[in-house]
A and B are shown apart, each in its own frame.
Chain A
Amino acid sequence: MNPQPMNIIPITEARSMIGELTKQVSGNKYVILTKGGKPKAALVDVFYLQKLQNDLAKLYQKTYIDPSLLPYTREFSDEEIKEWGKEDTL
């Protein structure tokens, strides 16, 4: 389910219309609250938030890491990641 087009409202304006905004955020419709022109918080349907949290938890449960194979693996250095990025350019 993709998020619906959202409303972006300064927090200062949202204060006086919080009740109305709360009615608007149903399902996957949400409102972004800005402070100083930058996104600061989001007003979302609590059930949608729970769904997102559950989806994320499921995503993190899924893993291909096999602990018995970890000794055959290593941590990549930042330098080699950068080098691979350069080498990958077409």
Chain B
Amino acid sequence: MKRVFVDSSVLFTAVNSPSGGSSQLFTLDTIHLLSSKVVLTEVERNIRRKLHEYHLERFLLLVSLMDIIISKPSDTLIQKARTVIVEKDAVILAEAKQAKTDFLVTLDQKHFLQEPAMKFLHPKKIVTPKMLIETLSRLKSTVINKPA
């Protein structure tokens, strides 16, 4: 089962819209979703400020479907992340680097889906929910079509 680190943009969007790719990730039984305390703090702060009361209930539900990483990355790792991505995303990139995952899923193409960030995270891959769903679909069909 593939392990997927969920960033703030994906969790917030999954809470905000039940019909997109971010929400769909929470329905797949072929992946294991993880996130961090920084992501939860950031997303909940924004839900309380920008969305409605019922979104908070959905947020709590979605969080219950993920494993939450407690340990914070070292300052050294965060400093290294700052050399490849903007300040605001450095902690989350460092957390994704430290976590035992196969993918970092994000909707922030402008900052995360860039060569320096991808190299920093290698061999883990940075993908959008749509890219991840397509990748998982291809993997599934490869397994099904594999000769016995």
User: In the complex, A65→B63 CA distance in Å?
Assistant: 13
In the assembled complex, the Cα of A62 lies from the Cα of B9 at a distance in Å of 22
The answer to whether A72 touches B20 (Cβ under 8 A) is: no
Taking chain B's interface residues, is the majority helix, strand, or loop, or is none over half, making it mixed? helix
Query: Which residues on B sit within 8 Å (CB–CB) of A84?
Result: 9, 12-13, 107-108
User: Which A60-90 residues have a C-beta within 8 angstroms of B?
Assistant: 60, 62-66, 69-70, 72-76, 78, 80-81, 83-85, 87-90
Give the distance to chain B from A49, nearest Cβ to Cβ, in Å: 16
Residue A17, interface by CB 8 Å? no
Q: Indicate if B119 sits at the interface (CB-CB under 8 A).
A: no
Is A1 on the interface with B (CB-CB < 8 A)?
no
Chain A residues near B46 (CB, 8 Å)? 75-76
Residues of A within 8 A of B (CB): 56, 59-60, 62-66, 69-70, 72-76, 78, 80-81, 83-85, 87-90
Task: Determine the interface band of chain B, counting residues with CB < 8 A from chain A.
Answer: 20 to 34
The answer to whether A62 and B38 have CB atoms under 8 Å apart is no
Instruction: Say whether B56 contacts A74, CB under 8 Å.
Output: no
Q: In the assembly, what is the distance between CA of A90 and CA of B131, in Å?
A: 10
Binding site for A on B (CB under 8 A): 8-9, 12-13, 16-17, 20-22, 24, 37-38, 40-42, 44-46, 49-50, 53, 56-57, 60, 63, 88, 91, 107-109, 128-130, 133
Q: Are B13 and A70 in contact (CB under 8 A)?
A: no
Instruction: Note all chain B residues with C-beta closer than 8 A to A70.
Output: 41, 45
Complex: A83 Cα to B40 Cα, angstroms: 20
Which residues of B are found within 8 Å of A59, using beta-carbon distances?
56-57, 60
Contact B45 A85 (CB under 8 A): no
Show 26 residue pairs from A and B whose CB-CB distance is below 8 angstroms, ordered by the A residue. A56-B53, A59-B56, A59-B57, A65-B40, A65-B41, A65-B45, A66-B37, A66-B41, A69-B38, A72-B41, A73-B41, A73-B45, A74-B42, A74-B88, A75-B49, A76-B8, A76-B12, A76-B46, A80-B9, A81-B50, A85-B20, A87-B109, A88-B22, A89-B20, A89-B130, A90-B133
